[in-house]
A = this chain, B = another copy of it.
Amino acid sequence: MPAPLHEAHPSSPGRRLPDTQQGMRRRNLARVMHTVNAEGPLSRAAVASQIGLTRAAVSTLVDELIRSGLLEELGPERPGRVGRPGSALAVSGRGPAGIGAEIGVDHLAVCAVDLRGAVRARAVRHGTNRRRPPQPVVAELSALVEQVVAKAESEGLWPAGLAVAVPGLVARDARTVVRAPNLDWHDIDLGALLPAELALTVDNEANFGSLAELWLRDDTPLDFLHVSAEIGIGGAVVVDGCLLRGTRGFAGELGHVPVRPEGPACACGGRGCLEQYAGEEAVLRAAGLTPGVDRVDVLAGRAAQGDEEVRRALRDAGTALGIALTGAVNLLDPQAVVLGGALASLAPWLLPSLERELEQRSAGRACAVRVSRLGPEGPLLGAAHSVVRAVLDDPAAVGTRA
């Protein structure tokens, strides 16, 4: 089995996979896939000029990718210009599929995404998973996965891997859920509970959500700060198209950034953390609702109806978010801040105060704040797409199961 590709930061010292001819081939296969995927149907000649190889070289690469079922020949292009028209190539709609799954507090969801990014199958089960033990939950999830895989296979796809988004911290092995407070799970190895046929990746839902934002929108910048609020306040930092994970995998923890250093005590040991002002519990309480009974979605409803108490609570949360984000923006200088997850639906009431803080504190050069269009779909889609990206990143690694 070939080792995963590693892109060369020349600065990092010696120990890396050798730069051999096979590696070069694999990287060029990946470049062809990425180019065709990103730039829509393209002729071999167009691909060649895009990636800087000759037409001859691209021809052999494309042949190999077509034989593997990863690319498809759509037929001759409509000739608009002088010269022989090219033959349009597209990423295959009947090759490998990425299976994404989400373990939410109130639902389970699974979907299959093809190489083109289209969702080809889905399955959802509603019902709370709060404090349910892992085994039955994962058993239900497995059943949904089977359904979705069956549907995908009936459409000529084959599953290339399974990625699971969970509302909690995941170990660096990408299999073990270290801590999921809302599920009350601790050190659960999902690899042992899920069918072993599929290559498995587990990650935090906020991470998958931010990757979805990165991959699924044409105009999303390569440097941004993604803020969501499912459990606590999950941030994610994307730099140059890469998710920043931190040494222990904790990067992006916006919830415990100090907002008012002498503010109310927080469970983390600090005082005045963002979570004390913009966390689900704090906002519900400030809005006169009951945490644990009411949930975030109630807020959007009440606010839309004009409930002034709720609106004030959201304004204050926006202010606190703005203060915390000012620090983050100063530190990272991203192209944009993206509000995702539950925050997306609350954006109309959060944004004004949030943006005001950000602008006042940034001397005019504030960075853009955007609202995710994906909203709560982000983590699931991000998970499925992560499998697809892995195929695009190393097409040679997937078997020729066409």
Contact = CB atoms under 8 A, between A and B. Distances in A.
Contacts of A390: 2-3
B251 A331 contact: yes
A326 interface: yes
Interface stretch (A146-154, A237-245, A337-345): A237-245
Interface stretch (A50-58, A106-114, A122-130): A50-58
Interface majority SS (helix, strand, loop, mixed), chain A: loop
A326 B257 contact: yes
Given A253-B333, A394-B3, A50 B15 contact: yes
Interface in A241-295: 241-262, 267-271, 273
B394 A10 contact: yes
Copies in the complex: 2
Contact of A327 (B5, B14, B257, B387): B257
Interface in A1-46: 1-21, 24, 27-28, 30-31, 34-35, 38-39
Contacts of A12: 222, 240-241
A249 to B, nearest CB: 7
Given A3-B393, A12-B241, A253 B19 contact: no
A331 B8 contact: no
B330 A361 contact: no
A201 interface: yes
A171 B360 CA distance: 24
A50 B1 contact: no
A39 to B, nearest CB: 7
B397 A1 contact: yes
A31 B14 contact: yes
Interface of A: 1-21, 24, 27-28, 30-31, 34-35, 38-39, 50-53, 160-161, 163, 174, 199, 201, 203, 207, 211, 215, 221-223, 235, 237, 239-262, 267-271, 273, 323-324, 326-328, 330-335, 357, 360-365, 367, 386-387, 389-394, 397
